[in-house]
Amino acid sequence: MEKKILLQVKNLQISWLFDKALIPIVYGVDFNLESGKVLGLVGESACGKSVTALSLLRLLAKELKIVNGEILFWEHNGGETIDITKLESRGKDIRKIRGGLVSMIFQEPMSSFSPLYTIGYQIMEVILLHSEISKKEAQERTIELLNKVGIADARNSFKSYPFEFSGGMRQRAMIAKAISCNPSLLIADEPTTALDVTIQAQILNLMRDMQHEFGTSIIFISHDLGVVGQMADEIAIMYMGKIIERGPTKEIFKNPNHPYTIKLLDAIPRLGNLEARRRLEPIRGSVPGLFNRPHGCTFNDRCDYFMSGICGASFPELKEISENHFVACYLYG
């Protein structure tokens, strides 16, 4: 079957404007996302995954600038290709894409709901903005969506304010808002991090159902490789603003190659390890600050395989080591 690319990110570079200087924080990120597939973006805090995601909708803070690269989005219905980097960040073209073709769900639902309006009103507002239906139809669609995401007594919950919902219910309502216009792409930034494991499992199931029902593509961002592994078809691991390993999920779990990926996998609790009373292996050290970026491979000060004279010279290229499996490390090739 022919693969349909929905999103192609090419050599994306983002810098932070600080004291009149541009400090690079995302260094030439490349990835593709096929229609109907889930891409997991994984890494520790401050590795650039959320900044990359926000740039896809031109939602970056004003001190953050896209300095190079392309974000190509294929609008399948109209057949048009849009380079999102060329759009005005406050213009009408990107506003048409936000919430319509591409939606985002955040870790903290209150960042997408105002405390002053009812949940139903705020979802209905998005529907009315992106489609030509009557207020009555938008209200019925909102109630249907609240029902779909498992909000009990959706007709009455429509009139509730965000503070009247529990954390799990707010997260569900945010998903209802995000999928209200059947987006082609849903960006989920740490959508389950603040939730307990039971609600986390329910939210993951819900997103999976939505993906199957509407064929939505998803970019699922998390620091937790275990959670991403349950959702993603393909995984990209980020470290200090670069993708250092990328490949199909099964392959990454079965055959991780980059020392950082291996360490991330070692840090996931597994049933076998618990039974054998094996300790979880933490990754030594921490991610260096922006102003202490190591020369060469940025993982070199934490890597057990550091090769003197090689790893500190320049950053290794991302190379394909098996079909669709890419690694940036001098141990390979």
Stretch that binds ligand SF4, among 31-39, 76-84, 100-108, 296-304 (CB under 6 A): 296-304
306 binds ligand SF4 (CB under 6 A): yes
204 binds ligand SF4 (CB under 6 A): no
214 binds ligand SF4 (CB under 6 A): no
Q: Which residue has the tokens 């997408």?
A: 112
Among 297, 318, 325, 326, binds ligand SF4 (CB under 6 A): 297
Beta bridge pairs of residue 65: 15
Q: Which residue has the tokens 């529990």?
A: 166
Could you give the CA distance from residue 316 to residue 332 in angstroms, rounded to a whole number?
10
CA dihedral 29, 33, 38, 39 (to 10 degrees): -10
Q: Which residue has the tokens 């998903």?
A: 175
Closest Cα partner for 172 from 227, 100, 123, 226? 123
* Shortest Å, Cβ 312 to ligand SF4: 8
Tell me which amino acid residue 188 is.
A
Among 300, 318, 325, 326, binds ligand SF4 (CB under 6 A): 300
Stretch that binds ligand SF4, among 9-17, 27-35, 210-218, 324-332 (CB under 6 A): 324-332
Number of residues that bind ligand SF4 (CB under 6 A): 13
Could you give the CA distance from residue 105 to residue 279 in angstroms, rounded to a whole number?
34
Q: State which of positions 251-290 bind ligand SF4 (CB under 6 A).
A: 259
Beta carbons of 231 and 251 less than 8 angstroms apart: no
Beta carbons of 118 and 96 less than 8 angstroms apart: no
329 binds ligand SF4 (CB under 6 A): yes
* Shortest Å, Cβ 242 to ligand SF4: 11
Among 73, 220, 299, 326, binds ligand SF4 (CB under 6 A): 299
Among 61, 307, 313, 333, binds ligand SF4 (CB under 6 A): 307
Nearer to ligand SF4 among residue 176 and residue 297 (C-beta): 297
**Percentage helix, strand, coil for the chain under 3-state DSSP, each rounded to 5:** 35, 25, 40
Number of H helices, E strands in the chain: 11, 12
121 binds ligand SF4 (CB under 6 A): no
Nearer to ligand SF4 among residue 58 and residue 258 (C-beta): 258
* Shortest Å, Cβ 48 to ligand SF4: 17
Nearer to ligand SF4 among residue 162 and residue 247 (C-beta): 247
CA dihedral 239, 241, 242, 246 (to 10 degrees): 60
313 binds ligand SF4 (CB under 6 A): no
Among 14, 231, 311, 318, binds ligand SF4 (CB under 6 A): 311
Beta carbons of 211 and 176 less than 8 angstroms apart: no
The first and second tokens of residue 24, run together, are 């690079």
Angle at 301 between CA 296 and CA 307, to 5 degrees: 65
The first and second tokens of residue 232, run together, are 């993603």
* Shortest Å, Cβ 259 to ligand SF4: 5
Stretch that binds ligand SF4, among 26-34, 138-146, 191-199, 306-314 (CB under 6 A): 306-314
Longest dimension (CA), the chain: 69
Which residues form the interface with ligand SF4 (CB under 6 A)? 259, 297, 299-300, 303, 305-307, 311, 316, 329-331
